[in-house]
Chain A
Amino acid sequence: GENVEQHPSTLSVQEGDSAVIKCTYSDSASNYFPWYKQELGKRPQLIIDIRSNVGEKKDQRIAVTLNKTAKHFSLHITETQPEDSAVYFCAAKGFGYSTLTFGKGTMLLVSP
């Protein structure tokens, strides 16, 4: 089955800096890669996603890049703010599979 590795496990940045979280996946047939933000005790919220036919997608301060050859994808957050502090999960879904495989998560802390 699919295996998703996520790094780093924790990331501390100063407000205004950029943050990058990286994930790798094992199944070359995977074609959907969402990113979730989860605040303590709350549900994961989809913040951005990318499909395998696209190399990059941007939504305001958030962007995701995908390298299918290397089987890795990354989340980029620019101009970080304290409210960006949360746990971020990447996930991958294979073609024909119905489940998402999640990375272990990255705890992002943005200091004022």
Chain B
Amino acid sequence: GAVVSQHPSRVICKSGTSVKIECRSLDFQATTMFWYRQFPKQSLMLMATSNEGSKATYEQGVEKDKFLINHASLTLSTLTVTSAHPEDSSFYICSARERGPGMGTGAFFGQGTRLTVV
């Protein structure tokens, strides 16, 4: 199956700093990647949809200036949490959708990133 790699798996940063998370599709081209946030014992909350070569589409209530998304190539999308605060601490996870006539379902997830802001 398709492989999605997310890095780093864990990061601890100081309040006020920025953190970049990478999401790569290793064996397929992904025109669309999705970024989710997951709080403990809760479901996946879609933050934004990232389309290669265009601006990301953010869900209601998600600050686009705080969660910067870049999808510069068909295999890489990045999420940057800017000026991080302790309330940004969470599990962030991406998923990727295949390009092509098969039109994947976005069913392949990265390993997730555990962000802790101290």
B106 within 8 A of A: yes
> A89 interface residue, CB < 8 Å from B?
yes
Q: Which of A41, A49, A102 contacts B114 (CB 8 A)?
A: A41
A residues 76-112 touching B (CB-CB < 8 Å): 87, 89, 93, 98-105, 107
Interface size class of B (residues with CB under 8 A): 20 to 34
Assess the A43–B109 pair: CB atoms within 8 A.
Answer: yes
B-side contacts of A104, CB under 8 Å? 42-43
A8 CB–B CB distance under 8 Å = no
Residues of B within 8 A of A103 (CB): 43
A99 CB, nearest partner CB in chain B, Å:
6
A87: chain B residues within 8 A (beta carbon) = 41
Mark A31-57 against chain B: 1 for CB-CB distance below 8 A, else 0: 010100000011111100100000000
Picked from A41, A49, A101, A105, the residue with its CB within 8 Å of the CB of B107 is A49
Q: Which A residue sits closest to B91, measured CB to CB?
A: A41
Q: Is B67 an interface residue (CB 8 A)?
A: no
B43→A102 contact, CB < 8 A? yes
- State how many angstroms separate the Cβ of B79 from the closest Cβ of chain A: 15
B106 CB contacts on chain A under 8 angstroms: 93, 98-100
Contact between A43 and B93 (Cβ–Cβ < 8 Å)? yes
Are A89 and B46 within 8 A (Cβ)? no
CB atoms of B105 and A34 under 8 A apart: yes
B90 within 8 A of A: no
In the complex, which residue of chain A has the Cβ closest to the Cβ of B9?
A: A41
Instruction: Give the CA-CA distance A46 to B105 in the complex, in Å.
Output: 11
Shortest CB–CB separation between residue A5 and chain B, in angstroms?
11
Q: Are B111 and A99 in contact (CB under 8 A)?
A: no
Query: B97 in the interface, Cβ–Cβ < 8 Å?
Result: yes
| In the bound complex, CA of A101 to CA of B44 (Å) | 9
What residues make up the interface of A, taking CB atoms closer than 8 Å to B?
32, 34, 41-46, 49, 87, 89, 93, 98-105, 107
